[in-house]
């Protein structure tokens, strides 16, 4: 899944800078992102997947979804 589609998916929830980093990610938006990704990509995000690293930017989330899809998380 390309980062562009993840960016488009999340752009309505959180501000994303040119480098793909989230700019104003508060708790409520983070939960919104979790549920949006789960609904879109048919994955389940558990508490241990939510770290500052995985929710720092689009690329990290793309990587997380890929790992969840491959069952390697």
Q: How many residues bind another protein (CB under 8 A)?
A: 11
Return the residues of window 2-21 that contact another protein according to CB under 8 A: none
DSSP 28-71: HHHHHHHHHHHHHHT----GGG--TTTTSBHHHHHHHHHHHHHT
Q: Work out whether 46 is an interface residue with another protein (CB under 8 A).
A: yes
Q: Work out whether 44 is an interface residue with another protein (CB under 8 A).
A: yes
Q: Which is nearer to another protein, 18 or 47 (CB)?
A: 47
Helix (H) or strand (E) holding 5: helix 3-10
Q: Which residues bind another protein (CB under 8 A)?
A: 27-28, 30-31, 34-35, 44-47, 50
């Amino acid at each position: 899944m390309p980062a562009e589609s993840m960016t488009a998916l999340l752009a309505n929830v959180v501000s994303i800078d040119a480098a793909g980093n989230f700019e104003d990610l508060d708790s409520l938006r983070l939960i919104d992102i979790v549920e949006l990704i789960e609904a879109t990509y048919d994955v389940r995000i558990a508490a241990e997947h939510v770290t500052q690293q995985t929710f720092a930017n689009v690329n990290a989330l793309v990587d997380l979804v890929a790992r969840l899809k491959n069952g390697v998380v």
